[in-house]
Amino acid sequence: MKKKKKNLFFPLIIIILFIFIFYFINFKRKYELKIFINKINNYINVEEFYIYGTHLNIKINNKLEKPILILKSSYNEIKYELVLDNDNYILSSKLNEGIDLEKLDNDRYYIIIKDNDKYYNLVNNTNYNNLTYYSISDKKIDLNFNENMILNIEDYKTPSDIYDIVIDAGHGGIDSGATSFGYNESTLTLEYSKSIKKYLEKLGYKVKLTREDDTYLKPYGTNSRTSIPYEVKAKYLFSIHFNSSESYISNNGFEIYIPNNINYDLANSLVNKIKSIGINTSTNTSFKVNDGIYLRNLSKTDINNMKNEAIKNGYEMYNADTSTPYLYMIRETGGFMTKAYIDGRNTKYDKNNYYNSNIGSESYLLELGYINNKNDINFIINNKDNYSKVIAYGIDEYIKNT
């Protein structure tokens, strides 16, 4: 008995029909969105936009009442409340908040403002052009200003020279850092940086070290300690150090230094993880803002010294104040957002070629204990593997929960 041939005609027609309907709906949605955008005849200036770490922040001039920023695509509409910041509206006054670029789906989003029942297109009123961001999850995000402000997000195999995280091993070469009990800081920072890198890579991150051997790195200029995070487009930077105190001070424990104007979520994640393995937060109270967390800005004395040096050497004083970070690895790796200022006017230093960048790394400096405290150095030497692991896990926990 012959088998009856299956009739494939009808299922094929159904498949073709579904494909047609899908593309028709997609075309219709895009067309309707374009019509909607083109009907917006109101415009408002973007006074500032930047990417700090993984977050995009946008500041607009204050002509509105209760503005909402909207990412609008053919299928999605995501709303963000704007907050008043001095004379402008901004997504967040915290540098590491705003639009989390890691959480957006592939799409083409128009960025518009709604205030009451009125819509506004955004006009670039800054000195900055389009931006490209490479995500941790292998996506490329282009921020473009043409007739409109647009975010275009697509899957993209990240180039090999672009990294998620930079680990900076403090000191090196002729700069040994602090020395005590037969150990020097530059050796320990390199050992720990390599170990933290190993655990972060196991968690799936691309990690770059500023140095991989006992080498001196200049702080500024091409191929410098501060230029590497920009060059590899890192989202995060962690500078590893070990503390030391004067002989008459018995400080001990670890300290995490943060930039000005950020939330403490990542720092808290690190503090909690590190405390869990048995080393205490620092007994140092100077610049302390939370348990284990420290914020050091330039003091009035620092600024007066800078003014005197500028007068002595015949250059204009830097644009710095008491909200400017003191630690250069935090200040100079975050672009204008962290008030980087090494622009070449003081010939004592090479120029930070990225001092005025509007894309920068979310940067932290970790003092992992006091090298001249017997209990701390014993813990540091005997617990390198576990210490490095919990630092990597603290970073990972924050990134995945943001």
Written as tens digits, the pLDDT of the chain (402 aa) is 444 455 667 777 777 777 766 666 666 777 787 888 889 999 999 999 999 999 999 999 888 999 999 999 998 999 999 999 888 999 999 999 999 999 999 999 999 999 999 999 999 999 999 999 999 989 999 999 987 899 999 999 999 999 999 999 999 999 999 999 999 999 999 999 999 999 999 999 999 999 999 999 999 999 999 999 999 999 999 999 999 987 656 899 999 999 999 999 999 999 999 999 999 999 999 999 999 999 999 999 999 999 999 999 999 999 999 999 999 999 999 999 999 999 999 999 999 999 999 999 999 999 999 999 999 999 999 999 999 999 999 999 999 987
CATH of 165-401, one of 3.40.605.10, 3.40.50.150, 3.40.630.40, 3.40.50.2000: 3.40.630.40
Q: Distance between terminal CA atoms of the chain?
A: 65
Q: Which helix (H) or strand (E) holds 266?
A: helix 265-275
The number of helix segments (H) and strand segments (E) in the chain equals 8, 22
pLDDT (tens digit per residue) in 250-272: 899 999 999 999 999 999 999 99
Handedness of CA 216, 219, 225, 231 (dihedral sign): negative
- Domain 40-155 in CATH 2.60.120: no
Do residues 334 and 52 touch, judged by C-beta distance below 8 A? yes
| Separation of alpha carbons 289 and 268, rounded Å | 12
Domain residue ranges of the chain, discontinuous segments joined by +: 40-155, 165-401
DSSP string, 210-244: S-SSS----SSSTT-TTHHHHHTT-SEEEEEEEE-
What is the 3-class SS of 56-99, one letter each residue?
A: EEEEEECCCCCEEEEEECCCCEEEEECEEECCEEECCCCCCCCE
| Separation of alpha carbons 59 and 62, rounded Å | 9
pLDDT (tens digit per residue) in 120-171: 999 999 999 999 999 998 999 999 998 789 999 999 999 999 999 999 999 9
Total-model pTM: 0.93
Give the pLDDT confidence score for residue 206 in this predicted structure. 98
| Separation of alpha carbons 122 and 70, rounded Å | 11
Closest C-alpha among 87, 102, 379 to residue 254: 379
Do residues 41 and 147 touch, judged by C-beta distance below 8 A? no
